[in-house]
């Protein structure tokens, strides 16, 4: 799993002109899944993201997590995080999970965040979405799950 995490002052995602999900201060998480991702990988990612200290404390040092600030999380599925651009000009998405698997993992990932008592908004899986956000900082961080890191380090293809 890969997650692109952005610290925001506000964000929303719309589909067909209607707002599907909206948050105030918190994190936007663009989540990309592989078919090999496991519930344990998702647990690891949820813990990493919700504990990520990217919000400023009273000294303006990034020392607080989304929980510490009582922030919200907007999760959007984004298979393009697994784009392979090493050859040619058209990205390959062969490493991304198939749609059915990705949808299951996406729903499970959101549920795991909710289970930890975070307010969660979400995009619409598989839809063409418009995302509006105010990136605060800007702070944008790419997080790879342990399995993702092992695949990257070993050069293994999936």
Residues 6+ apart with CB under 8 A from 69: 25, 26, 55
The string over 71-94, giving b where at least 16 C-beta atoms fall within 10 Å of a residue's C-beta and e elsewhere, is bbbbbbbbbebbbeeeeeeeeeee
Query: Helix, strand or coil for residue 148?
Result: helix
The catalytic residues are 78-80
State the sign of the Cα–Cα–Cα–Cα dihedral 92, 96, 133, 50: negative
């Amino acid at each position: 799993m890969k997650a692109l995490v952005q610290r925001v002052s506000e964000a929303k995602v719309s589909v067909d002109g209607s707002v599907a999900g909206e948050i105030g201060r918190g994190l936007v998480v663009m989540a990309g899944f592989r078919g090999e991702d496991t519930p344990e990988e998702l647990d690891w990612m949820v813990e990493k993201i919700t504990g990520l200290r990217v919000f400023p404390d009273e000294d303006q040092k990034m020392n607080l997590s989304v929980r510490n600030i009582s922030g919200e999380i907007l999760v959007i599925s984004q298979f393009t995080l697994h784009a392979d651009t090493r050859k040619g000009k058209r990205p390959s998405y062969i490493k991304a999970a198939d749609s059915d698997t990705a949808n299951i993992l996406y729903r499970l990932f959101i549920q795991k965040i909710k289970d930890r008592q975070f307010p969660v908004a979400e995009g619409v899986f598989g839809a063409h979405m418009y995302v509006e956000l105010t990136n605060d900082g800007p702070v944008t961080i790419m997080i790879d799950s342990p399995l993702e890191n092992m695949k990257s380090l070993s050069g293994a293809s999936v």
